[in-house]
Structure 1
Amino acid sequence: MNPLLNGLNEAQKAAVASPASVLQVLAPPGSGKTKTLTARVAYLIGPKEIKPSNVIVCTFTVKAAREMKDRIRSLVGDGLEAQLIMGTFHSVARRFLVSYGHHINISKNFGIADSSDSLAILRRIIKRRSLNIEPSVARSRISGLKAKNIRSDEYSRTAKSVEKQEFSMLYEEYEDTLRSSNLLDYDDLLLNCVELLRRHPECVANIEAVLIDEFQDTNKVQFELMSLFAQKKKAITIVGDPDQSIYGFRSAEIRNLHKMKNLYPETTVVILEENYRSSGSILLAAMDIIEQDQSRPAKRLLSTHCIGERPVLRRVPSSAAEAKWITTEIQRCKALTGGDLFQNSDFVILLRSASLSRHIEFAFGKAGVPYRMVGGHRFFDRVEIKILLDYLRVISQPSHNDALVRIINVPARKIGEATVKGLLEEAECEQWTMWNLVLAIAQGRRRPKTKLTAQAERGLESFCNLILTSQAKLAEEDSDIMALVTHVLKKLSFEKYLRDSYGEDFDSRWANVREIIAQATDLATAVARGEDWNEDDLPTIDAIDQQPHSSAQDVLAKFLANVALTTEVEKNEEDGNADKVTISTIHAAKGLEWPVVFIPGAYEGSIPHSRAEDWDEERRLLYVGMTRAQSLLYLSCPVKNSVEDQTTLSPFVSPSQTQDMFDIKGPLFSFTVAQDLARILRRKCPPESAMLAGRDLVERTEDDYWPLDGEAP
């Protein structure tokens, strides 16, 4: 047997070694989908001898791409994984646009407008036009249209009402602003790649296999992109689970699985049925809930573990009481299993909405339970890093108006907010970029309409001098990104600026800057050694020319693009390894697992959410939350919510046959229970003596403080 198939069950083996050109692998939670997809990639570039550079693998997160690449490296070695065209849909699309975008009039040095850039552009247009729409709503609406491949010109043709005509104007101006700034937003990366591959299919003439992870999360444009990637050989493998389609608000199309079968009638389907994560009783409850959706394809999900403790569905008097109950249950669980079986980091609180965390955070703080909120400040969102990155953006791409506006007076150059606003309006009225305007003013080639003080004029000259000298530095023959970063920091006196502005936490902020310097150093070293640092490289194809991208300017552009495309930046090790309870939304927890899961707020209006239009998706969301649990699962419902309104139990757990799957209070934690928990988690069971000693550490050994009917004690 091929060694790549070692350790796989029969369904996984069938998926990995399938001779089918078009393959759907339906992978429920905990069924080993990543292991299967990774082995499939390794099988194609190993025994099937497909060149790695002719294989595209698309994931939905940077983290997933990294993990897959590491696993493939361990399976095939020889650096073959580095030759794969692998990453998120957006990063793969960007690679094709960098190499071939000039064929559709996109220059290789385009910038990427991140979410804050897009919002800033929309905010300015809305204010200038006196439109009655929230910028965040407009951005979501534009993104939704682009996800359906509806451009601004197409939308304008169907805009009949006054409201739609106003929005059409906003959409068109937004697109014009991006174009004039040489920017693409995230959706544009996909749309323009679709246009490129439609008009120039020779760009992917070499592609022999396309593999897509989390296929149920794809939207209309991503589906088309998949088909275009595979247009030569029509060899596609997707891994997905319709029961975990929870991103409708991002325009994900659950119908894409059916659409794929219609487009490729020869599609072979392999279903993975064995679950390696959760206890039998957790799976039984989760399956009972998801099977309430009669329209879903029937699938089994079999646990490889023992039946374990039944999940808990607990009624409590209020949201505040619910938070206290969760706190005491965590303490009881740890103490009564001997203190060693569970750590704080084994517990997660999964919320339908982040707004539900207030009472839980308060209760944890009062009880001294350490916790972390998923989605804290990411590295590249920290103020000192954003300032430095904006300088690099303007150096790389002076037409980036929003980046320029953010830094033109940082550190202070006596250029006030009103002056900056006036200059920006002047530039937009003249259809100039902000950079062209301030440079012309600084060089005496233009008299500004905006009134400038003598100090502001000197500030503009200082700013322009910094950008121009930095660009000259970058253009030097032996220049690299490290030299550029060092030059910018020195010209800004950035260390002094941070010390003066943020004295109390200067050390941590400067440490972050040093981390950027280290990244620049690593990149410069890799380039100097001629290492394969440049993942933008695509295989050369005779029928169509690529643009070269190996200069220092290209390295900087790639560095900035990586920042824009990195949606998951890992926290520093100290925080990542800390023993803390996790509080997260269910959406953010997809793909993860914990030994013990709490899902509070199991009432109508919370889950399903009061504003939800698709109850089937809300049911899938609860299913995803429940199937994050390995050994213990708790759902809870307060009789009154946080604003003291009476609640109704969620319809997903209210049927009597569903309630029969749950216990009405937390487990007793006998020695037999502890043995089962340890077996599921593959951990050492604590001695019975330690469990008995733990009884002295808690006020109550049973979950009996709040009456079972949810009334106040």
Structure 2
Amino acid sequence: MSVAPRFVPSAITPTDEQTAIQTATQRTLIVRANAGAAKTTTLALRVGEALARGTAPEKILVLTYTAPARQALQQALIKVGVPEPERGRLRIETFDGFAAHILLSVEGQRVPSRRTPEEVAPNVWQAIEKLQLETYPGLVERFLKDSCRLKGTMARDLAVWSGERLTPDLAEEIGVEHTVLRLFTAYEQIRYPGADHCDRPLFRWQFDATYDLARLLAEPEHITPLDEVRAWPWSLEEIMVDEMHDLNMAMFTLVKALLRTNPARFCGVGDFDQVIHAMAGAERRFMQDDVDLGAGRQVVLLPLTATRRFGPRLATVAGRLADKRYASDSPHATSVRCLGYTTDAQGAGGEDLLVAQARQIKADHGGRLSGLAVLLRHPHQSIAIENALLAAELPYDPVGFTSYLMQPEVLLVRGLLAVATGDYEQLASEATRRALVKAVVFFCDVKLEYQQSEAESASERLQEAVTVIARERAALEPFFTYQVFRNGDPAMVRRMQAAAEVARSVTGPEMFARFLEALDIKAWVNSKFVEKQRCAEAQAYFDGLRVAAARFADAKAFFAHLNQSESQFARSATSLHKSALATSRQRKGSLTLATIEAVKGLEFDHVVMPGLAQGEFPAHLAESSVEERNLFYVGMTRARQSLTLLVDRARPSEFIGQMGLVPDEA
């Protein structure tokens, strides 16, 4: 049931489906949408309608899975004309951000965050040693991946709370190895010891806040009632969820608790074909009409079918990939081009096509590139593309990853080239020197000497070194001489010194290959990174550097090239770390160079997807072919006016054939 709308958007004319969702009066709605059907805009319309009917902004809570989705909703609110004062008072948060805020009121102080698998791995090894488990290659990576699913599904917790034992049969039922199930229990006891009257964990990794809050809410014997949680909201009138297709049990537990304790209407929107987090426990059942969202809540399903983002041509090929019919209600056409390229002996392929496309768009739009997004499956694909864009003087902003020039393995190379050439002055950027110190300490296991007191922790010593070297580049030389080479792992130091000697003494195209050989770089990378995909990316970065270095006479010239590239990038880009929202607002002249996951929920006039080779996309290390397909679908459906697919002729991505396309088809 719906009524006449009170909120009239300023920039769009809603479809009948959108208006029905905007004005629906049912207490509990779930909207099933297609890509490009303006899910986020429709959610913004519903927010605008609630405000127009007198709901205070503070009584509206919108939850998203990712930060890009939160940013996309903020953009949509601007687009439909929700006034700025009201926008600023709305509660729009990621699930993990919301959970961390609630937990802070319980725990009394912030819990340290760990952001990478490498930061978490020592605690996994601690749990392995505690259980005296036999290890095998890839155990830590396997554990971290399965632990994400265990946290998302809460399968172990639900079993324990119901009185089950952690048996091999239970592990099989859950879908993990029994060793991993035991290890997860030991790891969580280390992360959340509950000793010495400590009622908070030692640290949190990705999505741990959501999991920790879900356990607090769902554990039958937990002693903290919600009315004692100071930050818990009690008077919400509207609760909305974007990206509901990625909902897992932990997030669902939060939603149910919110609906149980608030007199709120609920609206969730999602698209089954955009599930890219199944490994974290995402389940379709949370978007079914029989899902239990609480007593007295009867779910009403509403459709959002016709895409307004892109025209019939793209709707047709997207429908082939998703194996469903697509309707387009777009007032404009969307071209789809599938261009083939041949990889040359140096590994380059397709960059010339990308540059030509970017130049054409720049010429057609008065020198502006802000409507163009180049979407990558893997961050390492950026190296050849960045070099081509810099050479063509086309400005870009990376989103979802840092420029290859600031990747830790590349910073290690730049540091060693500085040692070899004795030219530390070229590392002119303060941000670069900060990141370089952290990278070298990480790769070389440097035990830094204390500055003020032996009681200083390793992190305090690292921060002191970072601060000193950021302030004064001349401190780099003594840092390498007296800290790295004296206090680093002896075997690694020997390899570094050998590589530096190669850089000093060898010239010509073979210099960098021999430099990497002296480092024994593959073994080094495999010893430092936890995930196979991250190891593969690091190796790909080195392969890209090898191709680039072959053009220079010696290490000095190559080192100068890397530093000049960074300077050129710094002049054209706003920041080395960029959100998609900030990019669109602040860098009107720059194109967006992004991973697909980082722009989920966003849209662009023009999208180019390069590097479409079998083994790259879908990735040969991917665990889910369905998620790879869904990720491809997400990428291609970001386009409004044009989609260009750059395909390796020798080994085209299987998705090209599934869409009925062939290279060089326009």
Same topology, TM > 0.5:
yes
Asked whether the 8 Å contact 1:209–1:230 carries over to 2, the reply is no
Which of 143, 146, 152 is equivalent to 1:147?
Answer: 152
**Residue of structure 1 equivalent to 2:27:** 21
The 8 Å contact of residues 245 and 620 in structure 1, kept in 2 or not, is answered as yes
Q: What secondary structure, in the 3-state scheme, does the structure 2 residue paired with 1:239 have? A: strand
Secondary structure of residue in 2 paired with 1:230 = helix
Which one of the candidate residues 211, 229, 232 is aligned to 2:258? 229
Aligned-partner residue type, residue 58 of structure 1? L
2:166: which partner in 1? 157
Match of 1:654 among 654, 657, 663: 657
Structure 2 CA distance, aligned partners of 1:78 and 1:369?
A: 33
What is the identity, as a one-letter code, of the residue corresponding to 2:149? Answer: G
Determine helix, strand or coil for the equivalent of 2:657.
coil
Distance in 2, Cα, partners of 1:15 & 1:570: 27
| Alpha-carbon distance in 2 for matches of 1:652, 1:285 | 10
Report 1:604-615 matches (<5 A): 604-612=614-622, 614-615=624-625
Q: Does residue 1:638 correspond to 2:648, yes or no?
A: yes
Distance 1:255 1:30 in 2: 23
The residue identity in structure 2 corresponding to 1:499 is: R
Output the CA distance in 2 between the equivalents of 1:72 and 1:26: 20
Q: 1:219, CA displacement in angstroms? A: 1.5
Tell me if the contact between 1:348 and 1:594 (Cα under 8 Å) persists in the aligned partners. Answer: yes
Following TM superposition, by how much is the alpha carbon of 1:52 offset from its aligned partner in structure 2, in angstroms? Answer: 4.3
**1:502 & 1:574 partners in 2: Cα distance?**
37
Partner of 2:188: 175
Q: Cα–Cα, structure 1 residues 45 and 165, in superposed 2: closer, same or farther, change >3 Å?
A: same
Letter in 1 for 2:242: D
Take 1:208 and 1:4, find their aligned partners in 2: how far apart are those partners? 17
Distance 2:214 2:202 in 1: 19
Q: Could you tell me the TM-score, scaled by structure 1's length?
A: 0.58
| Corresponding position of 1:251 | 281
Give me the whole-angstrom Cα distance separating, in 2, the residues matched to 1:331 and 1:654. Answer: 25
Q: Which residue of 2 aligns with 1:535?
A: none
Q: Distance in 2 between matches of 1:314 and 1:14?
A: 41
Question: Displacement of 1:238 after TM fit?
Answer: 0.4
Q: Which residue of 2 aligns with 1:537?
A: none
Q: Which residue of 1 aligns with 2:471?
A: 499
Distance 1:364 1:134, change over 3 A: farther
Alpha carbons of 1:377 and 1:223: their partners in 2 closer, same or farther (altered >3 Å)? same
Residue 236 of structure 1: how far off its partner (Å): 1.6
Would the alpha carbon gap of residues 123 and 349 (structure 1) be closer, same or farther in structure 2, given more than 3 Å must change? farther
CA distance, structure 2, for counterparts of residue 364 and residue 127 of structure 1: 48
Q: 1:392-431 alignment to 2 at 5 Å?
A: none
1:621 aligned residue? 631
Residue 210 of structure 1 is matched in structure 2 by 239
Q: Which residue of 2 aligns with 1:290?
A: 322
Please list the CA deviations of residues 475-522 of structure 1 after superposition, one character each: whole Å capped at 9, or x if unmatched.
Answer: xxxxxxxxxxxxx9xx979865533456699xxxxxxxxxxxxxxxxx
Give % identity: 21
Alignment match, 1:281: 313
Alpha-carbon spacing, 1:493–1:586, altered in 2? closer, same or farther (3 Å): closer
Q: Distance in 1 between matches of 2:23 and 2:584?
A: 41
- State the Cα deviation string for residues 214-271 of structure 1 (Å, max 9, x = none): 1112122112221221124473200111122222233322342127646678322222
Post-superposition offset of 1:53:
4.1
Please state if 1:5 is matched with 2:35.
no
The answer for unaligned runs of 5 or more in structure 1 is 102-106, 293-297, 384-405, 411-415, 421-454, 468-487, 506-566, 641-646, 668-713
2:38 match: 32
Whether contact under 8 Å (1:608, 1:650) holds in the other structure is yes
CA–CA distance in structure 2, aligned partners of residues 219 and 284 of structure 1: 31
Q: Summarize deviations over 1:418-462 as a string: whole Å, max 9, x none.
A: 989xxxxxxxxxxxxxxxxxxxxxxxxxxxxxxxxxx9797225x
User: Secondary structure at 1:587's aligned position in 2?
Assistant: helix
CA distance, structure 1, for counterparts of residue 234 and residue 620 of structure 2: 48
Compare relative contact order (CA 8 Å, sep 6+) and give the higher one, 1 or 2: 1
Match of 2:213 in 1: 193
Amino acid corresponding to residue 32 of structure 1 in structure 2: A
Residue of structure 2 equivalent to 1:94: 100
Q: State the 1:13 CA deviation.
A: 1.4
| Cα distance change of structure 1 residues 306 and 164 upon mapping to structure 2, 3 Å threshold | closer
C-alpha separation between the residues in 2 aligned to 1:498 and 1:36? 46
1:144 to partner: Cα distance? 1.7
Report the residue type matching 1:210 in the other structure: I
Question: CA shift at 1:587, angstroms?
Answer: 2.3
CA 157–259 in structure 1, closer or farther in 2 if over 3 Å, else same: farther
SS of 2:269's equivalent in the other structure is strand
State yes or no: 1:121 paired with 2:123: yes
User: Are the counterparts in 2 of residues 25 and 271 from structure 1 also a CA contact under 8 Å?
Assistant: yes
After superposition, the C-alpha distances for 1:145-201 in whole angstroms (9 at most, x for unaligned) are: 111114579497124799956545543343233224644444442233224434635
Q: Would the aligned equivalents of 1:373 and 1:582 in 2 still touch at CA under 8 Å?
A: yes
Deviations 1:296-346 (A, max 9, x none): xx6x4313233354x222333337799554524642674599554674444
State how far apart, in whole Å, the 1-side matches of 2:217 and 2:277 are: 26
> If you compute each CA radius of gyration, which structure gives the higher value, 1 or 2?
1
Q: Aligned pair count?
A: 493
Q: Which residue of 1 aligns with 2:374?
A: 349
Distance 2:233 2:246 in 1: 24
Q: Is 1:302 the equivalent of 2:328? A: yes
1:653, CA displacement in angstroms? 3.5
Assess, with a 3 A threshold, how the Cα gap between structure 1 residues 196 and 167 changes in structure 2: closer, same or farther. Answer: closer
In structure 1, the residue corresponding to 2:649 is in which secondary structure?
A: strand
Whether the aligned pair in 1 keeps the contact of 2:401 and 2:594 (CA below 8 Å) is no
Q: CA deviation at 1:206?
A: 3.4
Partner of 2:64: 59
For the aligned residue pairs, the C-alpha RMSD in angstroms reads 4.7
**What is the CA deviation profile of residues 604-625 of structure 1, one whole-angstrom value per residue up to 9, with x for unaligned ones?**
4444443445444333322222
Partner of 1:269: 301
2:108 maps to 108
Per the TM alignment, residue 131 of structure 1 is displaced from its structure 2 partner at its CA by 3.9
1:442 corresponds in structure 2 to: none
What letter matches 2:269 in structure 1? Answer: V
Are the equivalent residues in 2 in contact too, given 1:603–1:637 (CA < 8 A)?
yes
How many angstroms apart in 1 are the aligned matches of 2:585 and 2:235? 44
Q: Is the 8 A contact 1:31 1:275 kept in 2?
A: yes
Measured in 2, the distance between the counterparts of 1:273 and 1:173 equals 47
Using the TM superposition, name which of 167-176 and 88-97 deviates more: 167-176
Q: Which moved more, 1:62-71 or 1:213-222?
A: 62-71
Deviation at 1:3, TM superposition (A): 4.4
Structure 1 residues 628 and 341, CA gap change in structure 2 (3 angstroms) = farther
How far residue 23 of structure 1 moved from its aligned partner, in angstroms, is 0.8
State the Cα deviation string for residues 24-82 of structure 1 (Å, max 9, x = none): 223333333222212312323441x4454444321223454356457669966595555
**Which amino acid counterpart does residue 300 of structure 2 have in structure 1?**
T
Cα-to-partner distance string for 1:555-595 (whole Å, 9 max, x where unaligned): xxxxxxxxxxxx97579889962744443332223222333
What are structure 2's unaligned runs of at least 5 residues? 194-200, 409-433, 439-443, 478-576
1-structure distance, mates of 2:584, 2:47:
34
Distance 1:639 1:75, change over 3 A: closer
Distance 1:596 1:138 in 2: 39
Q: Is the 8 A contact 2:72 2:602 kept in 1?
A: no
**Counterpart of 1:275 in structure 2: which amino acid?**
T
Q: How does 1:400-479 map to 2 (within 5 A)?
A: 459-460=453-454, 463=456
User: What is the identity, as a one-letter code, of the residue corresponding to 1:269?
Assistant: L
- Cα 1:113–1:288, aligned 2, differ >3 Å: closer, same or farther? same
